[in-house]
Structure 1
Amino acid sequence: MPDITSLPSHPPEADSGPDAIPCHPLGVKPSGNALLAATHSLRDAIGAFQRLPDDLILLSLEVLDGASLLQIGQTCKAFYAFTRAEELWKALFVRSPRESFTWRGTWRSTYLNLPASKVPMIDCSQLFSDALYRPFNCAHVALEPYVTKIPARNQITRLPDMSLDEFHTNWTDRPFILTEPVKAWPVYKNWTVGTLLARHGQTQFRAEAVDWTLRTYGDYMADNADESPLYLFDRAFVSKMGLSVGPPKDTPDAAYWPPPCFAEDLFSVLGEDRPDRQWLIIGPERSGSKFHKDPNATSAWNAVLRGPKYWIMFPPSGKQPPPPGVFVSEDQSEVTSPLSIAEWLLGFHAEARRTPGCVEGICGEGEILHVPSGWWHLVVNLEPSIAITQNFIPRAHLTSALDFLTNKPDQISGFRKDVEDPAQRFVSRMRESYPDLLDQAQEELQKKAEGKKRKWEDIVHGKPDDPNEQSAEGGFSFGFGDDGSDVEVP
């Protein structure tokens, strides 16, 4: 086989037409196409590796360094295609980040510092592999069919504005979109990708597992073909950008401020010890967040400054399973959503749209969406997007937050390492600032605990239809020893 750097740098011919499925740059096809293929498969040349499924071959390649991937890629066309998988090179890049580099359109080209003219495009059109074709196909799935024609019953409520009293009375447990408050923010009027690049192009921001300058991330936004594009999600943007945040009457040079209905945040009693709460979010089309709940049982608002976002949400429920395609451990400490957003749309969106409780909507530029505590949500950017989000605890969800902080200490997140026992610290500060609210929430927690205990006792001992009768069977119990005594499970 000739040296790969000497081969022509052009993709195979692609089908034309507005609705044509784009051709993989190497010509790789889905596995099913092999059934009608008249010629051999390139996979025949990989020797003993033919015994392994494609996913396992890719998994095996993950242990190699860049030089080894290049060497294996020169052995045959099939391995060239396997070693071009972008996730392999992305993992290498993330494991060994560089302070200075040029984004070159793909993770492989960036890691190897190869300009486009030096990247050969070998014809691998006789390779049939779902594992290689699927990421490319998902990166080109049209979003429009999934975010339009939302059933009326699923529509997220849209309102111009809302007072704090209205929020507390009717809306703390319901998603909604406000169309007016954000339009008064200076950042809404002044921020675009271009203006941010001009002012903060050399500032480093967190984008998932890497810290890049905004200029580099802008290059990535403009030219990438990732199935799940890298998402800039920075918690320190206020200090990095020198912003003032707060109500205009108290902060004359404020860049933005929460709408009045979201102004109360009981986590504020912690002052500088509070967990992370505000993030700048920037991402290209198709970037977004897979299904999750917000941390520490908080609620959140998400304000869109540029580029609309599609949201699909489900209410918390102990009786219903999580959203289709999402798997949760028994204690809900681990959430597994193994599919990319595009894969989930392809495989589960139709089922999700029919699921009771599902709500959907598009939050456009200058609009802000409320995410109630405990709600599942998936978000995808329909265009290049800039947004600001903030988590908060309204009084209606103080009980949930106390329950989470007290009973799930291993799942608490966002606090500095030097903040010891955040649950007790929060209770102590609430006792100082809002004793009545704290007493009410703790009383609700006590009732909840007693209700669980009664329910367990009903299960263990059996609950007779007539409260005046004792069950002859006595429910069920666990017996130990030979004395016939029953020992209750605590």
Structure 2
Amino acid sequence: MLDPTAQDISQDAIPCHPLGVKPSGNALLAAWNLRSAIGAFNILPDELIITVLELLDGAALLNIGRTCKAFYAFTRAEELWKALFIRSIPSGFSWRGTWRSTFLNLPESQVSILDCSHLFSDTLHRPFYCAHISLDPYVTKIPVRNAIPRLPDLSPEEFQESWTDKPFILTEPVRAWPVYQTWSVEALLEKYGDTVFRAEAVDWPLRTYGDYMHNNSDESPLYLFDRAFVSKMGLKVGKPDEEPDAAYWPPSCFGEDLFSVLGNDRPDRQWLIIGPERSGSTFHKDPNATSAWNAVLRGSKYWIMFPSSSKLPPPPGVYVSEDQSEVTSPLSIAEWLLGFHAEARRTPGCVEGICAAGEVLHVPSGWWHLVVNIEPSIAITQNFIPRAHLTAALDFLSRKADQISGFRKDVHDPYERFVKQLQVSHPDLLEQAYEQLKQKSEGKKRKWDELVHGKTAEDGNNADAPEGGFSFGFGDDGSDVEVP
């Protein structure tokens, strides 16, 4: 149920559903409901009907869709056809505006539209509604207390001293990049139209993705996110004084990356990002406890971010498993904005900002972040480990081996390799990081002793100290104590 007080959203901005389907609440005053025509299936909730339909192939969906208008509407759900397409991509296809039309190779003139205006279903209407809400109420009027700091530039020393744990936006470095001067969607299509890029679960020529980008009504549009773009596009990357023909280079304050000691064995680190309005990423943390920078070349992006620690809960509407390996949140960015954005803005630690073309945003290690394109955008992002977060990276690689990502399959035991290379190139930094990990471990043990035994080693034989047994006394710090 939408909260009408959460945001000032004009209902006039939402067009009618193409089949006339209405939200479930309208059934209360309706004279009749098309749903009664589906027979025994009428006892099932809409969500379960969609789940059953997910088991069918394309031919079966078409057949059941011919039985009545209600099933016609259910079998037109785009997520059904998107799943079929991804499981079995048709050869030589052309994007035709919807997943159903593309999978069936239907030109627009052959797409039938039936009047299903007497069908009332949140399951069918809500994705359409979410695909058409205005982003303006969510990305404007950012509270001053939440605003991400904006700076012209930072030196490496300034970054290391004061900014490694803070999000910020730099407004100058990216404007010097050759790709900022020359790249646009049109220019990339002209030069790389036949080059295949990764867009979530599909690998498409850029020209096909361009067709999709300019003609889709998905609730969560496909996001082109390619890790191999440098080699595919024949780009050179590096400092201008070292690589005269460089297409771009990391801003100077992000120049240090301790993962570079691994050479070709390092995990994926750089991505090309292209997407239409509304595309983006739901809440997540960057992999392997890395930090990141995200530079916008065209368009603009809205960011909302939260710090992460054992003392803080995840962002509103985000649920994390005990080992933090699984993150559950609403399926789309729009649904999160509708249900949780107002609460998020009031949550301590929340920061927000818009990164426009020619600007670059810093994502500190461990920070939760959601990003959505306000308009069609092109960006480049890169992950890195600054020395201030070496301890966090080592802790992650050593304790969460099952969550490590981005390494080639033939790179075994990334933690051991990383440590071995650091011993050669940065022994002092490695020693400092180990000392911090030791202090962290000892701190957890002391906390555990306090909780379990009601005393610490320093209490000794203090007669006033509680004896044995469990005496949990949770304070206000919300610490997430782990058994050492």
Band the TM-score falls in, shorter-chain normalisation: over 0.9
Report the Cα offset of residue 21 of structure 1: 2.7
2:239 counterpart residue number: 247
Deviations 1:100-145 (A, max 9, x none): 2100000000000000110011000000000000000000010000
Residue number in structure 2 paired with 1:14: none
**What is the 5 A alignment of 1:475-490?**
475-476=468-469
- Mapped pair 1:405 → 2:406: no
Does structure 1 conserve the Cα–Cα contact (< 8 Å) formed by 2:270 and 2:381? yes
Equivalent residue number for residue 319 of structure 1? 311
Q: Secondary structure at the match of 1:19?
A: helix
1:372-451 to 2 correspondences below 5 Å: 372-451=364-443
Deviations 1:201-226 (A, max 9, x none): 00000000000000000000000000
Match of 1:358 among 350, 359, 362: 350
One of 34, 38, 46 as aligned partner of 2:27: 34
1:299 touches 1:392 (CA, 8 Å); kept in 2? Answer: yes
Provide the residue aligned with 2:108 in structure 1: 116
Q: Does 1:335 align with 2:332?
A: no
Q: SS of the counterpart of 1:290?
A: strand
Structure 2 counterpart of 1:107: 99
- Count of aligned residue pairs for this structure pair: 463
Distance 2:259 2:151 in 1: 27
Equivalent-residue separation in structure 2 for 1:213 and 1:98 (angstroms): 14
Tell me, in whole angstroms, the C-alpha distance in 2 between the residues paired with 1:98 and 1:21: 33
Q: Which of the residues 106, 115, 124 maps onto 1:132?
A: 124
Deviation at 1:99, TM superposition (A): 4.1
What is residue 203 of structure 2 aligned with on the other side?
Answer: 211
Does residue 267 in structure 1 map to residue 259 in structure 2?
yes
Q: Contact 1:464–1:470 at 8 Å: present in 2 too?
A: no
Q: Can you list the C-alpha shifts for 1:144-178, whole angstroms capped at 9, x where unaligned? A: 00000000000000000010000000000000000
Mapped pair 1:305 → 2:291: no
Q: Residues of 2 paired with 1:453 and 1:466: CA distance?
A: 13
Amino acid at match of 2:23: P
Return the offset for 1:465: 13
**Which deviations, in whole Å up to 9, do the C-alpha atoms of 1:65-119 show, x marking residues without a partner?**
0000000000000000000000000000000123421000000000000001100
Q: What one-letter code is carried by the residue in structure 1 that aligns with 2:29?
A: L
Q: How does 1:62-101 map to 2 (within 5 A)?
A: 62-101=54-93
Distance 1:450 1:354 in 2: 35
Distance 1:99 1:74 in 2: 26
- When normalised by structure 2's length, the TM-score is 0.94
- 1:45 maps onto 2:37 in alignment: yes
Q: Secondary structure at the match of 1:311?
A: strand
**Per-residue deviation, 1:19:** 2.7
Contact 1:307–1:383 under 8 Å retained in 2? yes
- Kept in 2, the 8 Å contact 1:202–1:214? The answer is yes
Deviations 1:215-269 (A, max 9, x none): 0000000000000000000000000000000000000000000010000000000
- The unaligned stretches of length 5 or more in structure 2 are 1-9, 472-482
Distance 2:91 2:448 in 1: 57
Q: 2:46 aligns with which of 54, 57, 65?
A: 54
Matched, 1:286 2:278: yes
Equivalent-residue separation in structure 2 for 1:153 and 1:465 (angstroms): 43
Q: Secondary structure at the match of 2:304?
A: strand
Mapped to 2, the partners of 1:132 and 1:168 lie a distance apart of 50
The percent of aligned pairs where both chains have the same amino acid is: 76
Secondary structure (helix, strand or coil) at the match of 1:319 reads coil
SS in 1 for 2:48: helix
Q: CA deviation at 1:463?
A: 2.6
Gaps of 5+ in 1: 1-16, 479-488
1:466 shift after superposition? 10
Aligned to 1:145: 137
Q: Is 2:235 the counterpart of 1:236?
A: no
Please tell me the residue identity of whatever aligns with 1:33.
N
**Residue identity opposite 1:176 in structure 2:** F
Structure 2: which amino acid aligns with 1:314? F
CA contact (8 A) 1:296 1:412 kept: yes
CA distance in structure 2 between the partners assigned to 1:439 and 1:97 by the alignment: 51
CA distance in 2, matches of 1:293, 1:33: 40
The amino acid that maps onto 2:374 is: L
**In structure 1, what is the Cα distance between the partners aligned to 2:364 and 2:320?**
19
Q: 1:65 to 1:18 in 2, by over 3 A?
A: closer
Residue 471 of structure 1: how far off its partner (Å): 4.6
With over 3 angstroms needed to count, the CA separation of the structure-2 counterparts of 1:252 and 1:26, relative to structure 1, is same
Q: Distance in 1 between matches of 2:187 and 2:451?
A: 63
Partner Cα separation in structure 2 for residue 41 and residue 426 of structure 1: 63
Are 1:459 and 1:475, in contact at CA under 8 Å, matched by a contact in 2? Answer: no
Contact 2:455 2:465 in 1 (8 A): no
Q: Secondary structure at the match of 2:352?
A: strand
**In structure 1, what residue type is equivalent to 2:14?**
I
Q: Distance in 2 between matches of 1:185 and 1:331?
A: 41
Distance 1:20 1:175 in 2: 33
Look up the SS of the partner of 1:348 in the other structure.
helix
Instruction: Give the alignment's Cα RMSD to 1 decimal.
Output: 1.6
Distance 1:329 1:302 in 2: 27
Q: C-alpha separation between the residues in 1 aligned to 2:22 and 2:455?
A: 61
Q: Distance in 1 between matches of 2:194 and 2:456?
A: 71
CA contact (8 A) 2:90 2:103 kept: no
Cα distance in structure 1, aligned partners of 2:386 and 2:105: 49
Q: Indicate the residue corresponding to 1:10 in structure 2.
A: none
Instruction: Give, in angstroms, the shift of residue 288 of structure 1.
Output: 0.3
Instruction: Give the partner amino acid of 2:153.
Output: D
